[in-house]
Amino acid sequence: MSYLTYAEYREYGGSLEETAFNRLEFKAEKKVDDATFGRLKKETVISETVKRLIFELIGVIGNVDYTGEGYVPAVASEGNDGHSMSFASGTIMTISMANAAMRNLIVEYLSEERDSHGTPLLYCGYSGL
């Protein structure tokens, strides 16, 4: 079971095509599973908080997934005479920046969340990614 369906993703304002969404949702789900030691895999109902976290993680992962469909780095300038293009420095997210952003999102969204048995999804001191 996916933590976020494509229909829910679109309702939240997502604009990826379904094939790109499926790939990035899988990656985001793996990040959450790593942080929660897979405790959500057994859940039959996924909370709104987890769904929104997956939505946010898809955006971060998409920003560093330059091989993915739809990836476009921020353009600083473009010319049409000889077609040259330069990219804005500091606007392309590095892997370490993405990992820090994902870690912060996971802690922000899941620090108070519990599974259906009352077990906290994050243990104190989580430092993953």
Q: Which residue has the tokens 């898809």?
A: 58
Please check whether residue 129 lies inside any domain of the structure: no
Domain count of the fold of the chain? 1
Q: Are 75 and 87 in contact (CB under 8 A)?
A: yes
State the residue range of the domain holding 28. 6-110
Q: Are 50 and 83 in contact (CB under 8 A)?
A: no
Please check whether residue 123 lies inside any domain of the structure: no
Please check whether residue 23 lies inside any domain of the structure: yes
pTM above 0.85, yes or no: no
Please check whether residue 40 lies inside any domain of the structure: yes
Please check whether residue 118 lies inside any domain of the structure: no
Backbone angles phi, psi at 66, to 5 degrees: -65, -15
pLDDT (tens, 9 = 90+) of the chain, 129 residues, equals 799 999 999 999 999 999 999 999 999 999 999 999 898 998 999 999 999 999 999 999 988 865 555 445 555 556 666 666 665 555 567 788 889 999 999 999 998 888 888 888 887 555 555
Please check whether residue 115 lies inside any domain of the structure: no
Please check whether residue 91 lies inside any domain of the structure: yes
Q: Are 74 and 91 in contact (CB under 8 A)?
A: yes
